[in-house]
A and B are shown apart, each in its own frame.
Chain A
Amino acid sequence: MTYGSSQDVRGRGDADDPALATVAPAAASAAAGTAAPTLATGGPTAPPRRKVSWRARFARDRSLIIMTMPAVLLLLVFAYVPIAGNVVAWQDYSPFLGIADSQWVGWYNFQRLFVNAAFWHAVGNTLLITAFQLVFFFPIPIAMALLLNSVMTPRVRTTIQSIVYLPHFFSWVIVVTVFQQLFGGAGFVAQRLADLGYDGFDLMTNPDTFLVLITMQSVWKDAGWGMIIFLAALSTIDPALYEASVVDGADRWRRIWHITLPALRPVIILLLILRLGDALTVGFEQLILQRGAVGVDASEVLDTFVYYQGVINGDWSFAAAAGLLKGIVSLVLVVGANKLAHVFGEAGVYKRA
């Protein structure tokens, strides 16, 4: 990522591309289906060229620029204009007056946030869910990838892969509905338990077990898909390493410890960073679907707080302040986590060009 050097359009001779998020090429080559060279080093290097005036370069690349325009325009309107629209956080915004005529109130909305118990409750819930899922979700795709990688018959392996990737493509409405049918008050498990004489099982409305429930849902939906990047990393390990270690007498577990896991380390760290950067974003759609059933206490997170304060209660500026704060803290977290990765000598998500 070209941090801070965006103005530096030296185009011409230096064809080196900004070193991009390594996660994108990783996922790309995993997803795109061929062994396409990854782009971290910028793909093909253009031959050194003579200095060409910017007019000539513009004329030469005009078509390319035109091609990017639809995407850039869509992003300017639907991503950048709303970024500017965050000014309502410093207003007492009223839909009838609009941004132009609403009153400016300085830091008032932020001050309200800091003394708002519901806000801090939402922050606490968000962090609790993140921490819980870091422990009980994050390792599962790694373990599954190791397990699947030990399946030798290609047909069995691809069949299992196809099946466990599938729930990733279901919507949260579908996933929550499936869980309701299985674990809800009238669901499959409750019926079987009722047959055995135990009544009143309902995982969907129990705030005490909600954390476990949403983690189960996340695992069901995304653990299989989460394997994909680890399987890709596993497939690149040089078999000669294993062979040599066997000659040296290493058993199965020592091979995993000394070869497999170190090979996965960069990917694990990369995903940890991404997760850390997303620490304040926890399954918004998943939670808003279940907020009514399980109650605000267990399910209110930052995103649902913003939605209910703003769209439902009409306290637009207050909600915008909460959302903006979340966005900024998230950005700081990504950048900080990435720095941390560099300190530990890992590639991280992006590097300076």
Chain B
Amino acid sequence: MTSTTHVPSPRTAGDTSRPTAARRRRRSKHRAVWEEAPGPVGFTGKVVLLAFIVLAVAFPLYTIMLTSVSTQADVTRSGGLVTVPGELSLAAYEQILSGGIVTRAALVSIGITAVGTLLSTVVSVLAAFGLSRPGSFGHRPLLFVLLITMFFGAGMIPTYLLVSALGLIDSYWALILPTAVSAFNVLILRSFFMGIDPAITDAARIDGAGDWRVLFQIVTPMSKAAIAVVALFYGVGYWNAFFNAMLYINDNAKWPLQLVLRSYVLQGATLPGSGTGQVDVATGAVTGLPVKMAVLVLAVVPILLVYPFVQRHFTKGVIFGAIKG
């Protein structure tokens, strides 16, 4: 021990192999024995970089949310997005949620997302299980049908012509059916199902359970995490989709939220005076930044609500998950 300190820290007392008490204190219990602790420069650099990355994501969200609950006066004072909380008010939300085009668009988006996610998830779970037993009859050509769609897309024009030939223009089904099945999501589920120990399902079969029972009473309850992740992927896809709506929905009374966001916030169109007196032109509230940011937050909130429940599966998977190199 090179240290000549008279009062050694209790943790290093008697530990003669450690160079200094300071060095010892910085050593994280998570760090492997062989790995040197970072030097002061490296450590600072790392913290600064990570802080920058986190702030780059968090700061825009913070200032947008803050602006949406600020008053127009605070916005004017700060000359745009508000960074320091002033007087808070929910007026912007009351305005967009009291009927009118934003409210309707939000309901449309919720409906499409709910129906679409349910349909897609059920169809994908069924298909994934149907293709998950090695050597089952016809699974190769059926799998092939699925896989081709990952490598060759038909293209926008023929798809549009089909949807319009089916009479789905201005129908909400046009926002669901063409994107209902994602081969990638089916493969995620399938690989998860195939990872289930066949002894479990075989035991059920010996006890007389058919394939449907095996799926619903054994495989599905065992695969909640995988199904949740796939449902999230589908749900986020439906909630975020705007281009299909742009293609297939001409009637702007049927627009989902993303299209409303695009027109009235991104492109700066003024909300039309439809609905229950939503537009208060006198105060200029509708074109005001708080209202625009409130629409933006409205489009983000469902994702923020669902995300915490599903994201732990990502991080858990990343830490413990295996990858086939």
Interface residues in chain A, defined as those with a beta carbon under 8 Å from any beta carbon in chain B: 1-2, 5-9, 11-18, 20-22, 24-40, 42-46, 49, 54, 57-58, 60-61, 63-68, 70-72, 74-86, 88, 93, 95, 98-99, 144, 147-148, 150-154, 158, 160-167, 169-174, 176-178, 180-182, 186-188, 191, 194-195, 220, 224, 228-229, 231-233, 235-236, 239, 242-243, 246-247, 252, 263, 266-267, 284-285, 288-289, 292, 303, 306-307, 310-311, 316, 319-320, 323-324, 326-327, 330-331, 334, 347
Contact = CB atoms under 8 A, between A and B. Distances in A.
B162 A292 contact: no
B187 interface: yes
Given A164-B54, A188-B80, A220-B57, A236 B296 contact: no
B266 A180 contact: yes
Contact of A32 (B60, B177, B304, B313): B313
Given A32-B192, A169-B236, A182 B60 contact: yes
A46 B132 CA distance: 12
Contacts of A303: 156
B31 A152 contact: yes
Could you tell me the dominant secondary structure of chain A's interface residues? Answer: helix
Contact of A167 (B49, B57, B243): B57
For the complex of A and B, the 6 pairs showing the least CB-CB separation, nearest first, are A85-B158, A43-B194, A171-B240, A82-B154, A67-B130, A323-B155
Given A229-B323, A233-B323, A307 B130 contact: no
B60 A181 contact: yes
B314 A228 contact: yes
B134 A83 contact: no
A60 B137 contact: yes
A29 B131 contact: no
Contacts of A64: 129-131, 133, 136-137, 139, 211
B226 A32 contact: yes
Contact of B320 (A2, A35, A263, A266): A35
Contacts of B159: 78, 82, 85
Given A67-B215, A153-B30, A327-B155, A39 B318 contact: no
Contacts of A72: 127, 142, 145-146
A275 to B, nearest CB: 15
Contacts of A65: 130, 137-138, 142
B79 A191 contact: yes
A327 B157 CA distance: 12
B149 A236 contact: no
Contact of A306 (B54, B134, B157, B181): B157
A40 B322 CA distance: 12
Contact of A6 (B57, B144, B259): B144
B191 A36 contact: yes
A266 B259 CA distance: 40
Given A68-B142, A75-B146, A11 B160 contact: no
Contacts of A28: 187-189, 191-192, 226
Nearest to B152: A331
A39 B191 contact: yes
